[in-house]
Structure 1
């Protein structure tokens, strides 16, 4: 349960109630069937006093949204209701920003905050919320809450295993749920089982921080999860890193690997960054 995410969501609703346009589309995950999702959101809108005739606001079910980019120019506060396992291609080449939260989490946070017995959210809960922007968030909270483009090099040279790991996975996996199906699109080789791939990515992060060796596998995962250019080819991604780092990938021996192995990677000590 992420309290910052709860405050960000309250702030989004506060802006909507005040007829201020938010910078993000709000994506609320409800692990319910279509009818139940609509009923829950209708109740939430009623509790908050939201009315699309009175407010610059509209809600959409994920089944009606082919791509989140379709909503970026509507000049309204857009709320998208979804179950988990959304098609990951809906955020491919994303040109807008998404605030991601779980319906049950915001109600649970609100119940704890108000010491209420009922898990509800009302207009009154939004009135005391201070302005909270993405840049005000800690890095951990940012990657847990927002789906938006980032510079891959900022992630790589953060020298922070949590930031790198969260950039790759936390936007796509929450509360033990895979939110976006076809998450294997983040892989350089899409035939590997997700669990094995995740274990290898963690090893690659350790190798990056310890030895300044960026494996091609990790480079692809960081590039796709940062730029959200999910369908770019390995060749195109390799060209990006060649241009940005000034080096090419090559077979590199991974120090202290057991069994000893060589893997395609970039040795960051070979460049001037």
Structure 2
């Protein structure tokens, strides 16, 4: 069975989960706990970042590379159009979404992490209580310093928010003008699954798709998740989830690929 090394609230992991669910592929989710889990992940993949997909002896890193691998290896329900123009549009939108919604989404989330309850809620399932308590006790000033440490000055944060607003406005206009149900045609492509999955940090879907605390569902970054100007986008995204995203269940023996309720030790071949 396919194995996905992930964080439950990683939006790039969610991009891959949407691809897997859309293609109807059975997979096992392995939650990578910060610290020792990332060390083991480095041993298997050469990096500490998720997502990482393991298919037998093959190990694929990077969400785009994983998606392209899955489409080539498991061609049923393709996510890359065959028409050259639609294919080019799909790949351009996917790359744009990675660099805009994906990267800026992480920056914008840092602002929300000033809430201690949010900080502890987004940690992977099974994170030790001592680590949760440590994360929850971080003062707001330290979050500001963390942002400065990675280049997120107040000006950089304002720029990230402005770019995200422009991105969502553009997607809403595209959806409003498109007579088809999806961004490049009448069936989902990698562009749709990427844009939908990467919006996870802006607003967590309300449905039973993720192993997260109930109070987080439907919540998101103020100014984005609660902005009526983006209702078109989130309505579209939620319909895509309802149609193609499998519900969470703790039973990892079925085909839903649901995560276990506690972290799984990574086995190194």
Q: Structure 2 length normalisation: TM-score?
A: 0.21
Which protein, 1 or 2, shows the higher relative CO under an 8 Å CA cutoff with sep ≥ 6? 2
Larger fraction in strand: 1
Structure of higher CA gyration radius: 1
Larger fraction in helix: 2
